[in-house]
Amino acid sequence: METLEFMDISVVVNGTHVTRRVAARKHLVDFLRDDLGLTGSHLGCEHGACGACTVRVNGETVRGCLMLAVQADGAVVETVEGASDSGELAELQREFHERNAFQCGFCTPGMLLTAAELVAREPPPTREEIRLQLSGNYCRCTGYQSIVDAVEAVCRGRRLEKTA
């Protein structure tokens, strides 16, 4: 059992297997941004309150600033870039775009990944539930309403698709 200040980790990030040596103290988002150049995940507070750092680990959203990179060893990580490139976020992106559900864009990656979990829910969330679930993502630019509208629209679209 070694005590290490630096550790080799092996992670699948956006579908690609990567191996890197990281400082134990480096958190997951700094690893993604600094070591892998994936700057889509942002840092707004580094104490878990703002949601800008939200990424996906083993299929679930986490605060990337509250997880050490070494804890992601052996895990599957997905960032906004991966979820976007795969097309998974396409409906949400389209609704966000058409409804102007973003302005400066800094909260947007975290918002999208949080919203992606919401629209996958069964049964689909109500408008109030959407607001509750988005309440961990801080946005200073919009009034949140267009974001809620966009998520609602995707849920509605999926519901129509199912009944079609």
Partner 1 sequence: MPRTALRENGVKPDNGISVAHGAANYIGEPLPRANAVRLLAGRGRYVDDIRLPRMVHTAFVRSPHAHARIVAIDTSAAAAAPGVVRVITGAEVARLCRPYVGVLAHIKGMQSAPQYPLATDRARWQGEPVAMVVAETRAQAEDAAQLVDIEWEALAPVTDPETALDAATPVIHPDLGSNLCFERIVDSGGTDETFARAYKVVEASFLTARHTAVTLEPRSVLADFNPADRQLTVWLSTQVPYMMQWIIARHFALAETRVRVIAPDVGGGFGLKIHTYGEDLTTVAAAILLGRPVKFVADRLESFASDFHARGHRVKARMAFSREGDILAAEVDDLYGIGPYSGYPRGSANEGIQVANLVAAPYKQRIYRGRSRAVFQNKPMYGQYRAVGHPIACLTGEGLVDLAADELGMDPAEFRRRNYIPADAYPYRLVSGLTFEKLSQHEALEQLLAMMDYRRLRAEQAELRRRGIYRGIGLASFVESSNPSSATYGQGGASIASQEACTIKLAATGGITVAASVVEIGQGAEAIVAQIAATHMGVPIGEVKVVTGDTETTPYGGGNWGSRGTGIGGEAVLQAAKALRANVLSFVARLIESEASLLEIRDGNVVEVESGAVRMSLEEVARTAYFQTEHVPRDFQPELTVTRSYAQKTYAGVYTNGIQASYLELDPETGAVRLLKHWVVDDCGTIVNPLLVDEQIRGACVQGIGAALYEQCLYNADGQLVNGSLMDYLVPMAAEMPDIEVGHTSTPTATSELGAKGAGEAGTAGAAAAVMNALNDAMKPFGARLYTMPFTPERVLRALGKIGER
Partner 2 sequence: MKAPAFVYVKPQSLNEVFDMLERCGDDAKVLAGGQSLIAALNMRLSAPRVLVDINGIAELAGIRVAGDGVRIGALTRHRALERSPEIARYLPLIHQAMPHVAHAPIRTRGSFGGSIAFADPAAELPACSLALGAEFVIGSKCGERRVAARDFFKGLYETDLRPGELLLAGEFAAIRPDYRSVFQELARRHGDYALVGLAAHARFEGGIYSDAALAFFGVGGAPVLAESAAAAIEGRPFSDETVVAAQSVLEQDLPTHEDLHASAGTRRHLARVLLGRVLRQLAQQRS
Contact between 43 and partner 1 per CB under 8 A: yes
Token duo for residue 46: 């580094």
Nearer CB in complex with partner 1: 82/124: 82
Chosen residue from 21, 45, 58, 86 binding partner 1 by CB under 8 A? 45
CB count in 10 Å sphere of residue 100: 12
Q: How far is the CB of 163 from partner 2 (least distance, A)?
A: 26
Chosen residue from 102, 116, 118, 152 binding partner 1 by CB under 8 A? 102
CB neighbour class for 101 (10 Å; exposed up to 12, middle 13-18, buried from 19): buried
Count of residues near partner 1 by CB under 8 A: 58
Give the strand pairing for 60-63 and 54-57: antiparallel
Contact between 131 and partner 1 per CB under 8 A: yes
Residue 50's binding partner, choosing from partner 2, partner 1, none, with beta-carbon cut-off 5 to 8 A by kind?
partner 1
Contact between 132 and partner 1 per CB under 8 A: yes
Q: Let me know: does 51 contact 138? Beta carbons within 8 Å.
A: yes
Nearer CB in complex with partner 2: 32/97: 32
Chosen residue from 104, 126, 156, 159 binding partner 1 by CB under 8 A? 104
Q: Which residues pair with 13 in a beta bridge?
A: 16, 77
In angstroms, the CA 39 to CA 119 distance is 25
> Rounded to whole angstroms, what are the CA distances from 15 to 11, 44, 101, 154, 157?
9, 26, 28, 25, 28
The footprint of partner 1 (CB under 8 A) covers 23, 25-26, 33, 37-47, 49-50, 52, 79-81, 84-85, 89, 93-94, 96-109, 112, 131-132, 134-148
